[in-house]
Structure 1
Amino acid sequence: MSAVLAPRLSMLPMHPADLDEIVEIENRVYPFPWTRTNFIDSIACGYSVWGCRFADELVGYYVLMMAVDEAHLLNISVAGKRQGMGFGARLLRHAMRLAQLAGATSILLEVRPSNVPALTIYRHFGFQQIGVRRGYYPAEKGSEDALVMRLALAEVAQ
């Protein structure tokens, strides 16, 4: 009799050596992706850059910036072929927990109004829209607004 072990799921801090994988996902899932330099700068500035690996495959990542008692989720992405499988929720939960451990009382993010899957997951986790940044994102025809969303971490079970 043989046992089949499920592939391991792990959350790991990302390093410059992981940039090829990160940038590949970024370029495939966004029409206006972050550049390699954006990620290099994030790591160099000490932002929390974490990845989710399913077995040996990088399936997603996030970039979290701490500012006093507030966290700002700058980027969260899941590889296209892995979307809809719960990896985004795992990444978001991890970012929220990391923010709490760092002393944040809230977490902020921006999202395109056209990104319905992201809006759905953020609302599911209790994020509330608190504002709009006009013309924040580049778009095919000019720019697109960003919805600013906030979650009070005191409302999240530790």
Structure 2
Amino acid sequence: MEIKRIHRNELDAYLKRILSIEQLVQVHPWTEKNILESIADNYRFYVLLDNDNVAGYAVYDFVLDESTLQNISISAEYQGKGYGKKLLLESIKQLKEELKIVKVMLEVRISNNKAINLYKSVGFEEDMIRKNYYPMPDGSREHGVLMSLSFS
């Protein structure tokens, strides 16, 4: 497995697989437009590759010395094997080295216990609950958990 930062000119090679993973694992998936916009200058887009196959990806934005994890997805066949943790740790390591990030923040659906446990396992702490933040397919809303990881 390899974790690679990709740039706009490399996205076409991975876009179809990224969209497929997004549709299969996310409750409210990003569109192709969302993905294309996320590979702008103030974002970092990382892919987890099994040979040339995209097994997952993580997208961060950043302002000054803080970053926000905007999206992370691992393909269903790779889930539960530690690849999400590997992607998270390695991408954060690269952000710290390249951008001197001192804090990473994220929001996660309150029902996504697997993700919350993953984030806690690498040191993220719950900061607050954002009520009725995430849209649900049935039109209702779900609370979000705001979490952060700070480096000293």
State TM-score, norm by structure 1: 0.87
Contact 2:42 2:62 survives alignment (8 Å):
no
Q: Which amino acid aligns with 2:74?
A: V
CA contact (8 A) 1:66 1:99 kept: no
Corresponding pairs, count: 146
Q: 8 Å contact 1:52–1:91 — kept in the other structure?
A: yes
Which sits farther off after the overlay, 66-75 or 128-137?
A: 128-137
Structure 1: runs of 5 or more not aligned: 1-8
Q: Which has the larger radius of gyration?
A: 1
The percentage of counterpart residues that share the same residue type is: 32
State the match for 2:146 in structure 1: 148
Which of 108, 133, 137 is 1:111 aligned to?
A: 108
**Deviation >4 Å, runs of 4+:** none
Distance 1:111 1:79 in 2: 18
Helix, strand or coil for the counterpart of 2:116? helix
Alignment of 1:2-151 (within 5 A): 9-14=1-6, 15-17=10-12, 18-101=14-97, 102-139=99-136, 140-151=138-149
Does the CA-based 8 Å contact 1:99-1:107 persist in structure 2?
A: no
TM-score, L = length of structure 2: 0.90
Structure 2 residue runs of 5 or longer lacking an equivalent are none
Deviations 1:21-55 (A, max 9, x none): 11110000012101111110011344100101012
SS for the counterpart of 1:44 is coil
**CA distance in structure 2 between the partners assigned to 1:114 and 1:30 by the alignment:** 12
Q: Distance in 2 between matches of 1:24 and 1:153?
A: 34
